[in-house]
């Protein structure tokens, strides 16, 4: 078994998320509308029109709550991981997926500042992945080896890895901009 919890340097941005981008706020609002009428820094329920698309399902190693199409895609991603790297699959968990709140921005001194806009978690399209119950530390420019391995599966399925954010967030994966647009064109949101 590999040491999936080994901390390694953040990969060069040119080697991950190739051809993928984090979804724009305007795209999320255009496709789904607003998840709720107001936000705080705490997780709140999705109460807008998107609420009817929110499901809770097992995706293999854990259950999660999010937009139906994203949860189904996540299940497929993790099934591939189980087939090819069962020991990694067995230690996967989550710290959440659907969480309507403002963006949280880690400051250089380690404190958290709330952004003006809602987080992508507000649409149930982003997830934090744990390994053996451990969250990768945001902003340390390092990542767990297991998340790097996992990123190949997420990227192949059209999900963006947060390791490339200005403040590295290696635990974070989200449906990419192009994937959302493709799903819309394919009628998956009708």
pLDDT digits (tens, 9 = 90+) for 32-79: 999 999 999 999 999 999 999 999 999 999 999 999 999 999 999 999
Candidates 129, 104, 105; CA nearest to 43 is 104
Examine residue 6 and state whether it is found in any structural domain, yes or no.
no
In a domain, 190, yes or no: no
Q: How many CA atoms lie within 13 A of 59 on its CB side?
A: 29
Asked if residue 9 belongs to a domain, the reply is no
Q: What is the CATH number of the domain that holds 61?
A: 3.30.1380.10
Residue 167 or 183, more confident = 183
* Domain total of the chain: 1
Would residue 102 count as lying in a domain? yes
Lowest average pLDDT, out of 9-23, 71-85, 108-122, goes to: 108-122
Q: How confident is the model at residue 171 (pLDDT cuts 50, 70, 90)?
A: very high
Asked if residue 45 belongs to a domain, the reply is yes
Q: What is the pLDDT of the chain when averaged over all its residues?
A: 95
Query: Does 2 fall in a domain?
Result: no
Pull the structure tokens for residue 136.
Answer: 């990768």
* Termini Cα distance of the chain: 43
pTM: 0.95
Using DSSP, state whether 75 is helix, strand or coil: helix
> 3-class DSSP state for residue 95?
strand
Domain-located, residue 23: yes
- Predicted local confidence at residue 11, as pLDDT: 96
Dist. CA 86–CA 68, nearest whole Å: 25
DSSP 8-state class, residue 86? H
Expressed as residue numbers, the domain containing 79 is 19-185
User: 147 burial class (0-12, 13-18, 19+ CB within 10 angstroms)?
Assistant: buried
pLDDT of residue 106: 77
188 has a pLDDT exceeding 60: yes
Query: 1 pLDDT exceeds 70?
Result: no
Does the residue 178 lie in any domain? yes
Report how far apart, in Å, the C-alpha atoms of 88 and of each of 40, 164, 168 are. 35, 22, 22
Residue 107 predicted with pLDDT over 90: no
Going by pLDDT thresholds of 50, 70 and 90, the confidence category of residue 110 is: confident
pLDDT band of 105, cuts 50, 70, 90: confident
pLDDT band at 111, cuts 50/70/90? confident
């Amino acid at each position: 078994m590999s040491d999936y919890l080994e901390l390694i340097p953040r990969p060069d941005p040119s080697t991950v998320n190739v051809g993928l981008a984090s979804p724009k706020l305007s795209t999320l609002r255009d496709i789904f509308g607003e998840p709720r009428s107001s936000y705080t820094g705490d997780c709140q329920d999705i109460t807008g029109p998107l609420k009817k698309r929110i499901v809770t399902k097992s995706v293999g190693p854990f259950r999660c709550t999010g937009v139906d199409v994203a949860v189904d895609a996540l299940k497929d991603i993790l099934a591939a991981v189980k087939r090819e790297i069962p020991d990694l699959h067995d230690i996967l968990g989550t710290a959440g997926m659907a969480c309507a709140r403002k963006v949280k921005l880690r400051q250089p001194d380690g404190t958290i500042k709330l952004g003006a806009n809602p987080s992508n978690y507000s649409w149930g399209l982003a997830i934090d992945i744990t390994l053996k119950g451990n969250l990768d530390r945001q902003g340390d420019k390092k990542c767990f080896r297991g998340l790097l391995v996992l990123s190949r599966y997420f990227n192949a399925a059209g999900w963006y890895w947060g390791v490339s954010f200005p403040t590295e967030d290696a635990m974070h994966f989200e449906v990419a901009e192009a994937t959302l647009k493709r799903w819309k064109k394919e009628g998956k949101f009708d």
